[in-house]
Amino acid sequence: MVSCQTDSIRRSLARSHHTLTIVNNKAYVFGGTTAENLLASNDMHAVTVEHTGKPDMDYGLIPALPTTEGGEVPVSRTNHTACAFHGNVAIYGGSNDKNDLIDEASSLWLFNPERKAWDLLSSTKTDSAPGPRRNAKLFDHDGSIVLYGGVDATGDAASDLWTFDVASKAWTQLPTAPVATTNAALANGQLYLISAKDSVSGQLHHLGVSSPIKEMTWDSFTFPANPLAPGPRARHDGAFLPLTTGWGRNYMVYLLGARDESLSRTESLMMDEAKDKENLTQFSDTWALQIPSSDVDAKPAWSLKNAIKPAKIKDAIRHAIGAETGHLAWAEAVVQLPSEKQLGEEDGKLHPGPRAFFGADVMENGHSVVFWGGVNAKGQRIGDGWIVKFS
């Protein structure tokens, strides 16, 4: 785990409720609420998180410009959602400086890093669409965009699930999830959700989004989270992301987040920011959940390690002889301290500390997470960035 910012970048990116999206070797930070409790501008911040050997700036501020002259650009926003989509940054929803939902007729914004410009993907069917919302989750899946949950126009925490076909520019509703939660991630065609009804256990829910709609079914199971059995405590607004450590082994990582001791209502997982600052503290731990290994297949890949998936073979053998495969088992991550050289190059911090409401995404290598900003345990908005490498 290493810190990756300068003082000037830290000041520029001190914010919360923003998004961070990885495209190639850069992290693109957009929107949010600044340290001065103001709505961030609609500029895009680009931070180089991995150098390719080509000349490149470590940090750049990109003003909002349309692709075509006279075109539109997204207004400033916070509590929106984003994902990488075909080399672009896709953005949906959010709220304005009055905390009102931004209604854009269920349209999506696409930022192209090469052109440094914005395009608007308008929905052709506004009568059957997600509508305005904040704190939703957005994912790229097989040429389509998947949207889950958030807080809708009724003010309630939603659990509906939608997919947007870019070719037809139309939304289609998928089976509604059994819970509303901020912990959602998509990996290998499966949408995973984590929720909690009490302080000693949690629930994992998953749905295969690659199946025909009529065959889609949610599955759920309960895992312990107490001193006698390993498992993460209930939390929200941290990072829940898919990772791979290579050779076909896949995990979901559950990183930091806000503690939630009040679990009487599902809506408590999406409390207002002011209430969060007064009543909640943040976690500093990280957990990993082993999910099914990648399929064994022969196809072009970046490396032999990615082309051959021995973990799938190993798990099949272990299952046949009755041994534990670790499938759907939690383990707390052990943090290794940065080297003296890394500490000398940065500001000397060993750990980011407890925080929530930050932006995070997985790097192109599949086994590192970048996160930036957020709110610390003192209720302060912070502007440091970190790279966490898993192995």
Q: What is the DSSP letter of 101?
A: B
Q: How many CB atoms lie within 10 A of CB 351?
A: 12
The rounded mean pLDDT for the chain is: 84
pLDDT at 357 > cutoff 50: yes
Structure confidence at residue 291 (pLDDT): 86
Average of per-residue pLDDT across 108-126: 95
Structure confidence at residue 27 (pLDDT): 97
The fraction of the chain above a pLDDT of 70, given in percent, is 79
Q: What is the DSSP letter of 253?
A: E
CB burial readout 292-328, b (16+ within 10 A) else e: bbbeeeeeeeeeeebebbebbebbeeeeeeeeebbee
Rounded-to-integer distance, Cα 339 and Cα 342, Å: 5
pLDDT at 71 > cutoff 70: yes
Q: What is the DSSP letter of 347?
A: -
The fraction of the chain above a pLDDT of 90, given in percent, is 60
By the 8 A CB rule, do 210 and 333 touch? no
Structure tokens at 277: 């600052």
By the 8 A CB rule, do 135 and 147 touch? no
Instruction: With CA atoms as reference, report the closest residue to 305 among 370, 259, 366.
Output: 366
Backbone angles phi, psi at 30, to 5 degrees: -135, 140
C-alpha 140 chain-centroid distance: 12
> Is 161 in a helix, a strand, or coil?
strand
Q: Give 240's strand partners.
A: 254
Confidence band of 324 (pLDDT split at 50, 70, 90): very low
By the 8 A CB rule, do 207 and 177 touch? yes
Average of per-residue pLDDT across 321-334: 62
Beta carbons within 8 Å of 236's beta carbon, 6+ residues apart: 181, 182, 183, 257, 258, 260, 269, 270, 356
By the 8 A CB rule, do 271 and 136 touch? no
By the 8 A CB rule, do 5 and 383 touch? yes
Beta carbons within 8 Å of 291's beta carbon, 6+ residues apart: 187, 188, 190, 192, 242, 250, 251, 252, 327, 328
By the 8 A CB rule, do 156 and 268 touch? no
Give 87 or 317, the one with higher predicted confidence: 87
Instruction: With CA atoms as reference, report the closest residue to 246 among 193, 195, 309.
Output: 309
Q: How far apart are the two ends of the chain, measured CA to CA in Å?
A: 11
Alpha helix (H) residue ranges in 295-388: 304-307, 310-320, 340-345
Rounded-to-integer distance, Cα 206 and Cα 220, Å: 7
pLDDT at 316 > cutoff 60: no
DSSP-assigned states of every residue in 80-99: -EEEEETTEEEEE--B-TTS
Q: List the chain domain ranges.
A: 2-292+327-389
Structure confidence at residue 318 (pLDDT): 40
pLDDT at 296 > cutoff 90: no
Rounded-to-integer distance, Cα 93 and Cα 367, Å: 29
Q: What is the DSSP letter of 265?
A: S
Structure confidence at residue 314 (pLDDT): 40
Rounded-to-integer distance, Cα 237 and Cα 258, Å: 6
> Is 279 in a helix, a strand, or coil?
helix
Number of helices (H), then strands (E), belonging to the chain: the values are: 5, 31
Give me the architecture of the 2-292+327-389 domain, per CATH.
6 Propeller (2.120)
Confidence band of 265 (pLDDT split at 50, 70, 90): very low
pLDDT tens digits, 185-234: 999 999 999 988 777 778 899 999 999 999 999 999 888 777 677 778 88
Give 20 or 291, the one with higher predicted confidence: 20
Residue 246: left (phi > 0), alpha (psi -120 to 50), or beta?
left
| Whole-model pTM over 0.75 | yes
Structure confidence at residue 227 (pLDDT): 67
pLDDT tens digits, 122-145: 999 888 999 999 999 999 998 899
Look at the block and give the residue holding tokens 């926003």: 77
> Is 338 in a helix, a strand, or coil?
coil
